[in-house]
Amino acid sequence: MKLVPIMIALSITVATTGASFANSLVPAGPRAGIAKSALSAKPDKEWNRLSLALGRNVEVWTVDGDALNKVTFFGGIASGSPLMREFDKKRQPLPKVATNMLITDIPALLESTYRSQNAVSQMSIDSQEPAMLGAHKGIRFTYSFTRSDEVARKGEGLGAIVGGKLYLVTYEAPALHFFDKDLERYRVLAASLAL
């Protein structure tokens, strides 16, 4: 009998402390300071911001969960830094952003990062073309990859190097059904990006 109040107190504690790490709703409309950077956007529909801590300047949005559709913002990664936080700096260091990178090195950097850290053994960059990220010249590229869950995924990225820093937005989803389902929603979001 004495246990019941203790358990209630415990669950309240868990619920309240959990809230500070929780996912949050991104309403339609203007949003600034994405990925703790100068990146802003104006989504036409709601998104969910996940509390995944992939890195200081990395933010993840999704509709149904990051395994099904995932938009990742990399906001101003400085030269000498990796795209994401390194899980194991010593044994699996990640490639770093470099000052002399060409715009076509952006997809290569993403691929090498995935192969180093995310247990991706198969990945290919399928197309590359010039595009605008806000008012800046950048690159749009498509890719496909398989992680250790063995689900074939497709991705589309939009990146640019602005003021020596790398800005990149990617959309990834299973090739089957999900990629096409939310592609338009992502493209509207990507077209609204400003920097």
Please report, as ranges, the residues that interact with other proteins according to CB under 8 A: 90, 93-95, 98, 100-105, 108, 111-113, 115-116, 121-122, 126-130, 139, 146, 150, 152
Whose Cβ is closer to other proteins: residue 95's or residue 181's? 95
For residue 152, the minimal CB distance to other proteins (Å) is 6
Spatial separation of the C-alpha atoms in residues 60 and 162, rounded to whole Å: 21
Cβ proximity of 124 and 144 under 8 Å:
yes
CA 101 – CA 123 distance, rounded (Å): 21
Q: Which is nearer to other proteins, 43 or 155 (CB)?
A: 155
The pair of structure tokens assigned to 149 is 């869950």
Return the H-helix or E-strand segment holding 181: helix 178-191
Shortest separation between residue 188's beta carbon and other proteins, angstroms: 22
> Which tokens in the block code for residue 120?
């991706």
Q: Is 116 helix (H, G, I), strand (E, B) or coil?
A: helix
Choice between 38 and 175, CB closer to other proteins: 175
Q: How far is the CB of 47 from other proteins (least distance, A)?
A: 29
Residue with smaller CB distance to other proteins, 50 or 97:
97
User: Smallest distance, Å, CB 61 to other proteins?
Assistant: 26
Q: How far is the CB of 141 from other proteins (least distance, A)?
A: 8
Strand, coil or helix: 74: strand
Q: Of the two residues 46 and 88, which places its CB atom closer to other proteins in the complex?
A: 88
Which value, to the nearest 10 degrees, does the dihedral of the CA atoms of residues 145, 140, 138, 186 take? -100
Contact 29, 42 (CB under 8 A): yes
